[in-house]
Amino acid sequence: MLGAIRQATRVRPANLFSSNVMRRQHFLQTRKRIYSTETTSKSTSDISKATTNEATPFKGAPPIETVKGELKTNNVVKEELAKKKGFGFGKFILGITIFGGIAYGGAIYYSLKNEDFRDAFVEYIYGAEKSVEYVEDLQRQGTFEQIGKNVKQFKNNTYDKGKDVINRVNQIFKQPDIVKVPIEIVKEIKERQIELPEDPILLKLAYTLNELIDILDNYDVKDKDDLIKRAKEELKELGTRIDLLKIEDQVRSQAHMAEQNEKYNQLYVSKEGELKQQFEDEKKRIYEQFKSELARESARNNEELKNELVKQSVELQRRWIRDVKFMVEKERGGRLARLDNINHHLKMLERISVDNAEHLDDSLKTHRLWCTLRALQNAVEQPDRIPFSNQIAAMRHLSSTDEIVTTVLSTIDDNVANNGVDSISDLSARFATVREEVRRASLVPENGGVFAHLLSIMFSKILFQKHGLAEGSDVESILARVQYHLNENDLDTATRELNQLKGWPKKLAEDWIKAARNHLEIKQAIEVIETQATLSSLSVV
Amino acid sequence: MTNEEKKTPSEDILNKKWDLCLSNLLVKSGIGLSVGIVASALIFKKKSWPIAMSTGFGIGVAYAECQRTFNPTAIPGVKIIKPPPS
């Protein structure tokens, strides 16, 4: 066994390749046989044969039995062919049946895999549905797996059996060798082997020789030691010869190399000089060219730069101008805004001052009005008659804008103003005489003559005088009421009462009434102007 | 002052009229009396009736004038008709 293993490790590459090829062929054969459904027993025998074939090449002894077996099978096929020539029709039927069965089985198998095919298959082929269902049931029950398992187990069993057989055969073949050659001899064999040289060719040769030695060790050949020794010597000789050849070759090649070297050196020098010259020329030319180009380029660049600079400067200037303008505008806007503000303030101040002036004016006017009013009042209320036309004129002049004052003043008669008005005390004093006269004429009828007057004077002496608020529309009662009102300082009512008289009494009292009316008018005017003055002063304040 | 003289106050109108009447009466009656005395002495041989009659004329003229002063509208033979109240 150990020997066999070692051999296996030392197999040459070519040999190994061939064995690999063989193994693959065998494997393919076995696969084919396994997949064919015709005869499983035959395939198993083939497998066993294949295993034997696999094992045998390493033995060195060819498997004679298997060759014989193959020959046998060939003979059987020939016999079958000879028989079938007789039954042509039977063969035809059998072929069709087998082919149909295979096709049907394949269709069922494929229908299990492909749904579309299955639909088509079930639709068009008679009895397909049942068979497919049956197969599906079988698959579901695991029958196929069981069969597959059985087949595998059977294969393993046969393989094991084949191995046993091979081992047994090997034992039968090897037993004497193993018994004969002890471990020491094996060691010797090891020592006897040729040392491995460095040269690859020699190495190969050495391997070959070693193998040969091994083979010789395995088989009992006479003078094998001699042969080995001779081979060794020859190998050595061969090595020395190769070395010599190598040295010689080296020397020759060296000489050749030197010669060549010299030649090429010369060539190199001459070429170098030439190239140098050329290079210098080229350099000069290129230098000139580049110089001129550089000059041109630099000139162009300078021109461009100048242009660019000018353009940029112009743009910058423009921008600056714009900026400055903008700033100036802004500043001016700010100033103008401030000026506007100031202007606004000034206007406000102006308005305030104007208002103030107006206010002052108004107040002055009202003050003057008050002054003149006071003067007028003073003039009117004097016990004597004093003309107040001056006061009236002054007032008219001062309050020419005041409509009310002017209107009121326009109602005052110039005559009255020039003559002045009687005071209440004057009027009441005058009333005493008026009363006497009126009473005297109180009994005169309308259009009365001299005697009527005389009678009236006479009878009026007899009449009782009335006092206080006497009722009645007779002259005596009216006179009594007037007297009462005058005593009460109510000139207005007194005048109204006296105005009720008719005939001669009225005529007699006319002047007094006039005077009283003037007084009242002036008084009213003064009151109105006073109210106006009060209003204006209120509005001013 | 002249203004005041012209314008007599209303309460004095009647008094003035009376003054005028009295003076008129005195003048007229005196003229009548004197004319009667002269006439009785010269024409009517110192008879008394022409004196009374001429004095009566004088008084009558005075009365008529006085009446006219008090009521200027009451002219004999003239009647002023008031317009009917409308």
SS3 labels along A74-108:
HHHHHHHHHHHCCCHHHHHHHHHHHHHHHHHHHHH
A388-440 confidence digits (pLDDT tens): 888 888 888 877 777 888 888 888 888 888 888 888 888 888 888 888 888 88
Residue that wins the pLDDT comparison between A497 and A312: A312
Q: What is the pLDDT of residue B59?
A: 92
The answer to whether A365 and A399 are in contact (CB under 8 A) is yes
Q: In whole angstroms, what is the distance from residue A12 CA to residue A212 CA?
A: 12
Confidence check: pLDDT of B1 > 70: no
Q: Pick the closest to residue A510 from B14, B66, B6 (CA basis).
A: B14
Q: Rounded to the nearest 5 degrees, what angle is found at the Cα of A93, between the Cα atoms of A91 and A94? A: 65
Pick the residue of B7, B10, B16 with the most A CBs within 10 A to test the interface with A by mutation: B10
In chain B, which residues have their Cβ closer than 8 Å to the Cβ of A441?
A: 14
Q: In whole angstroms, what is the distance from residue A470 CA to residue A478 CA?
A: 7
What phi, psi does A11 have (nearest 5°)? -65, 140
* Range of A249-253, A396-400, A412-416, B81-85 with top mean pLDDT: A249-253
Confidence check: pLDDT of A12 > 60: no
Mean pLDDT of chain A: 79
Record the pTM: 0.43
Q: Pick the closest to residue B23 from B61, B74, B76 (CA basis).
A: B61
The token duo for A430 is 């005058």
Q: In whole angstroms, what is the distance from residue A299 CA to residue A308 CA?
A: 14
Pick the residue of B4, B70, B73, B81 with the most A CBs within 10 A to test the interface with A by mutation: B70
Confidence class of residue A310 from pLDDT cuts 50, 70 and 90?
very high
Q: What is the pLDDT of residue A474?
A: 84
Q: In whole angstroms, what is the distance from residue A491 CA to residue A494 CA?
A: 5
Contact status of A449 with chain B (Cβ, < 8 Å): yes
Confidence class of residue A77 from pLDDT cuts 50, 70 and 90?
low
Q: What is the pLDDT of residue A362?
A: 81
In chain A, which residues have their Cβ closer than 8 Å to the Cβ of B14?
A: 437, 440-441, 453, 504, 508
pLDDT, mean of residues A98-125: 85
In chain B, which residues have their Cβ closer than 8 Å to the Cβ of A448?
A: 70-71
Confidence check: pLDDT of A371 > 60: yes
Count of pairs with CB atoms under 8 A, one residue in A, one in B = 43
CA atoms within a 13 Å half-sphere pointing along the CA-CB vector of A20: 7
Q: What is the pLDDT of residue A303?
A: 94
Q: What is the pLDDT of residue A293?
A: 93
Among the partner residues A448, A450, A511, nearest to B10 by beta-carbon distance: A511
Among the partner residues B9, B15, B70, nearest to A511 by beta-carbon distance: B9
The token duo for A267 is 């060539």
pLDDT, mean of residues B46-67: 89
d(CA A414, nearest CA chain B) in Å:
16
The interface pTM score, or ipTM, of the predicted complex is 0.78
Confidence check: pLDDT of B74 > 80: no
